[in-house]
Amino acid sequence: MLRRFFTFALPLAALSAAAPAASQDSARPPLARPPLVFTGIPDQDESRLVERFGKVATYLEARLGVPVRYIPVKNYPAAVTAFTNGQVQLAWFGGFTGVQARKAVPGSQAIAQGAEDAAFKTYLIANARTGLAKAPEFPLGVAGKTFTFGSRASTSGRLMPEYFIRQAFPGKTPETVFSRVGFSGDHSRTIQVVQSGAFEVGAVDYSVWDLDTKAGKVDAGAVSVIWESPAFPDYQWTVRSDVEKAYGAGFTEKLRQALVGIADPAILEPFGRTKFIAVDNAAYDPLIAVGQSTGLLD
């Protein structure tokens, strides 16, 4: 009888001992997923960047159900480096920096762009003292003037303007067309240095020109647009190829839909965009060709 008792009692005791442990395991919260960290190229003044990306972080966190954090970077190459090293999983890149980042991290994807980015433009702007006026054709009168690009890695502030300059002056580089060439670092700064007369002519992102004009930062009596470029693809959100390892299968598409779903003007206006639309890497193939033709991309 005793042997029979222990034969039945031991499994019951084991079940009784296991029950509290199973209950405790089921009560434990699931392991927290790491924050989704993103950055953006510093294409305009810092206060506007903080406003822009802080609102994006709050929105994405609510839509994705994961912590989202924005980290600023000092310049365009730093944004590419942070993406390449895995410090960030998502970035708001210019067209050219996006090409550079995806080349460095194979499999990464451009997932969304502003509706305006499919047909973006560069403005050439000039100080009023130059006497240059707006014209539909590239203004050959810029030759011999002092000229500033934006960042060295900017699409609308360097890559495409250099391409258009070389087209207008065959066989010449910007350094041989202008008396002095500079790099302001960002589009807002380009406007400021041309407006002040530190440089006579500059190349600027048309959307930043419009934003700074609305903000009262442009003195129309001191600086004006003298030429609008042909259209080209530009800014986009690019996500790393390994993002689904951390956040699960389908996360890339979930992120794309969250970005495309932004409808709040308070988020869109600091970007100078009416909405975001889906995009893929192939949309930026023209920039690869331009980068290679100008020697700015290997």
Domains 36-118+233-294 and 121-228 equal at CATH topology level: yes
Asked if 154 and 245 count as a contact pair (C-beta separation under 8 A), the reply is no
Q: Which pLDDT value is given to residue 8?
A: 37
Identify which of 6, 290, 4, 17 has the alpha carbon closest to the alpha carbon of residue 158. Answer: 290
HEC profile for the chain? CHHHHHHHHHHHHHHHHHHHHHHHHHHCCCCCCCCEEEEECCCCCHHHHHHHHHHHHHHHHHHHCCCEEECCCCCHHHHHHHHHCCCCCEEEECHHHHHHHHHHCCCCEEEEEEHHHHHECEEEEEEHHHCCCCCCCCCHHHCCCEEEECCCCCHHHHHHHHHHHHHHCCCCCHHHHCCEEEECCCHHHHHHHHHHCCCCEEEEEHHHHHHHHHCCCCCCCCEEEEEECCCECCCEEEECCCHHHHHCCCHHHHHHHHHHCCCCHHHHHHHCCCCEEECCHHHHHHHHHHHHHHCCCC
Q: What backbone phi and psi angles, to 5 degrees, belong to 225?
A: -80, 130
- What is the CATH number that goes with domain 36-118+233-294? 3.40.190.10
pLDDT of res. 120? 97
pLDDT for res 17: 40
β 90-93/236-239 pair status:
antiparallel
Residue 43: what pLDDT? 85
pLDDT at res. 31:
52
CB distance 249 to 70 below 8 Å: no
Q: Could you list the pLDDT tens digit for every one of the 298 residues in the chain?
A: 334 333 333 343 333 344 444 444 445 445 568 999 999 999 877 778 888 999 999 999 999 999 999 999 999 999 999 999 999 999 999 999 999 999 999 999 999 999 999 999 999 999 999 999 999 999 999 999 999 999 999 999 999 999 999 999 999 999 999 999 999 999 999 999 999 999 999 999 999 999 999 999 999 999 999 999 999 999 999 999 999 999 999 999 999 999 999 999 999 999 999 999 999 999 999 999 999 999 999 8
d(CA 120, CA 128): 25
pLDDT given for residue 81 in this prediction: 98
Q: Smallest Cα–Cα separation from 149: which of 53, 76, 210?
A: 76
For the chain, the distance separating the N- and C-terminal CA atoms, rounded to the nearest angstrom, is 86
What's the topology of domain 121-228? D-Maltodextrin-Binding Protein; domain 2 (3.40.190)
What amino acid is encoded at 35 in this protein?
P
CA 52 to chain centre: 12
* Residue-range domain boundaries for the chain: 36-118+233-294, 121-228
Alpha-carbon distance of 132 to 153, in angstroms, equals 27
Residue 237 contacts residue 108 (beta carbons within 8 Å):
no
pTM (predicted TM-score): 0.84
- 10 Å CB burial of residue 149 (0-12, 13-18, 19+) is buried
Residue 148: strand pairing partners: 182, 202
- What tokens appear for 3 in the block? 């042997």
User: pLDDT value at position 45?
Assistant: 77
